C-alpha cells in the first residue's frame, strides 16, 4: 500500500507511522528524518539544509523531490511505503504523481494548542531517533532513551519561535494538499486529538476499510 501521511507539525504523524510500518511491513520514509540524518552526517545536503530546518522553513522542492525519488528507488518498497512529511507543497505532490501511484492520503488533524503542547514537550533520542514526550510519552528514566540508552535532546525547531513559523508555513504551503487529495478521491481524515493508541487504531481501521 502506497501511503502519504499529511498533517501539521506535531500531529503525531511520525509516532503513528512507526507503528503502521511495523504492522504492514512497509518502510516509513520521513523526509524530516532524512534531512536530520544528512545534517548529523555533515554531508553536502546536510550543510545546505541545516539553517532551513532550524528556522522551520521548507527545503526547496527540487532538493526534496530528488531525495525522495532516490529513497523510493532503494528496492524495499515492493509492498508499499509510508511517506511522512512529504509532499508538503503542490509541486512536490505533482512530482510524486509522476514517480508513484498512491492508494491513500491520511490527513491527521489536531487543534493548534495541542500541537504546541506536543512539540514543546517532545524529546528525541540522539542515537536511534526514537521520539518521547515529557508528559504524554515519558521515557522510564528522564533524559535517557528506553530502547538504546541514548541521550534525549530537544529539536532546535521545537523552540517556540520556530514552532510558530512551522505552523504558518504549514497553513500557507501544505494545507492546500488536503483538497488536492480530496479531489483525487484518496483522502481519509483521522482525528489525531486522542491518545497515541486511539489514533493508531483509527488509522489501521481506515487503512483496512
Q: Which residues are catalytic?
A: 13, 88, 122, 155, 166
Q: Three-state SS for 33?
A: helix
For residues 38 and 25, what is the distance between their CA atoms, to the nearest angstrom? 25
Cis preceding linkage at 87, omega within 30: yes
User: Nearest CA to 143 among 127, 158, 159?
Assistant: 127
How many residues line the site for ligand AP5 (CB under 6 A)?
Answer: 38
For residues 112 and 10, what is the distance between their CA atoms, to the nearest angstrom? 9
For residues 14 and 133, what is the distance between their CA atoms, to the nearest angstrom? 13
**Interacting stretch for ligand AP5, rule CB under 6 A, among 27-35, 37-45, 146-154, 180-188?**
27-35
**Between 80 and 139, CB nearer to Zn ion:** 139
Site for ligand AP5 contains 180 (CB under 6 A) = no
Site for ligand AP5 contains 71 (CB under 6 A) = no
Site for ligand AP5 contains 166 (CB under 6 A) = yes
Q: Phi first, then psi: what are they for 161, rounded to 5°?
A: -65, -40
DSSP label of 158: G
- When CB distances are held under 5 to 8 angstroms depending on the partner's kind, the choice from ligand AP5, Zn ion, none that residue 88 binds is ligand AP5
Using CB under 6 A as the criterion, what x/- string covers residues 81-120 for binding ligand AP5?
----xxxx---x-------------------------xx-
**What are the cell numbers at 28?**
516509513
Which residues of the chain form contacts with ligand AP5 (CB under 6 A)?
Answer: 7, 9-15, 30-32, 35, 52-53, 56-59, 64, 85-88, 92, 118-119, 121-122, 131-133, 136-137, 157, 166, 195-196, 199
Amino acid at each position: 500500500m502506497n501511503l502519504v501521511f499529511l498533517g501539521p507539525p506535531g500531529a503525531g504523524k511520525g509516532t503513528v507511522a512507526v507503528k503502521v510500518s511495523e504492522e504492514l511491513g512497509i518502510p516509513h520514509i520521513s523526509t524530516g528524518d532524512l534531512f536530520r540524518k544528512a545534517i548529523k552526517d555533515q554531508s553536502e545536503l546536510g550543510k545546505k539544509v541545516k539553517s532551513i530546518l532550524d528556522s522551520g522553513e521548507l527545503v526547496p522542492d527540487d532538493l526534496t523531490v530528488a531525495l525522495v525519488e532516490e529513497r523510493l528507488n532503494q528496492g524495499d518498497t515492493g509492498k508499499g511505503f509510508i511517506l511522512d512529511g512529504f509532499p508538503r507543497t503542490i509541486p512536490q505532490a505533482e512530482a510524486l504523481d509522476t514517480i508513484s501511484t498512491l492508494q491513500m492520503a491520511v490527513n491527521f488533524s489536531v487543534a493548534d494548542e495541542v500541537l504546541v503542547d506536543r512539540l514543546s514537550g517532545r524529546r528525541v533520542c540522539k542515537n536511534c531517533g526514537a521520539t518521547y514526550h515529557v508528559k504524554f510519552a515519558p521515557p522510564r528514566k528522564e533524559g535517557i532513551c528506553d530502547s538504546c540508552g541514548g541521550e534525549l535532546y530537544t529539536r532546535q525547531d521545537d523552540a517556540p519561535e520556530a514552532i510558530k513559523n512551522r505552523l504558518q508555513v504549514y497553513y500557507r504551503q501544505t494545507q492546500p494538499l488536503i483538497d488536492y487529495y480530496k479531489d483525487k478521491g484518496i483522502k481519509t481524515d483521522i482525528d489525531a486529538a486522542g491518545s497515541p493508541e486511539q489514533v493508531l487504531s483509527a488509522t489501521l481501521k481506515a487503512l483496512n476499510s
